[in-house]
């Protein structure tokens, strides 16, 4: 199976000056035997990035927002992926549809409070955490 994980990250949120804090998102893609194997490979890759790059420096929290599983890649019709609709000010919630289709839009509302993401009104727990 093919797995695509969408992640949000917060970095150095303990810093007093906002310019030193970071947050963002990234995707990881892997072909694996199952969900658990894919999640372990995602953890391994994130740890490797923490050790070898500056992407996840200092205090860092990583949240798995969505895991998409596909048996194969589309060949006839392109699949829409990771649609976002952001209203007004960046502090406002955004609507995300990870793989919208004719059958389902699969949309969720993502909001940040105290630098921690909430999805559809529920707080998210970190997928991985790193301390300084």
Q: Where are the alpha helices (DSSP H) in the chain?
A: 35-52
Report the distance separating Cα 82 and Cα 87, nearest Å. Answer: 16
Q: What percent of the chain has pLDDT over 70?
A: 67
Q: Across the strands, what pairs with 15?
A: none
Name which of 63, 55, 64, 47 is nearest 11 in CA terms: 55
Instruction: Give the pLDDT of residue 57.
Output: 82
pLDDT tens string 106-123: 666 666 666 677 766 777
pTM over cut 0.75: no
Query: Which residues 6+ apart lie within 8 Å of 39 measured at CB?
Result: 5, 64, 67
**pLDDT score of 37:** 96
Reply yes or no on whether the pLDDT at 90 is more than 60. no
> Could you read off the pLDDT of 40-73 as tens digits, one per residue?
999 999 999 999 988 888 888 898 888 888 898 8
DSSP 87: -
Euclidean distance between CA atoms 29 and 16, whole angstroms: 34
Tokens of 66: 């969505």
Which residue do the tokens 């969408």 mark?
6
């Amino acid at each position: 199976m093919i797995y695509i994980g969408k992640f949000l990250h917060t970095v150095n949120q303990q810093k007093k000056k906002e310019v030193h804090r970071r947050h963002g998102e990234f995707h990881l893609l892997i072909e694996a035997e199952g969900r658990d194997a894919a999640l372990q490979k995602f953890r391994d890759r994130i740890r490797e990035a923490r050790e070898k790059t500056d992407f996840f420096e200092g205090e860092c929290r990583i949240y798995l927002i969505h895991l998409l599983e596909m048996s194969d890649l589309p060949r006839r019709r392109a699949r829409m992926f990771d649609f976002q609709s952001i209203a007004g000010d960046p502090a406002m919630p955004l609507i995300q549809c990870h793989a919208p289709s004719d059958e389902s839009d699969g949309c969720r509302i993502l909001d940040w409070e105290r630098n921690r993401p909430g999805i559809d009104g529920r707080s998210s727990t970190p997928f991985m955490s790193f301390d300084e």
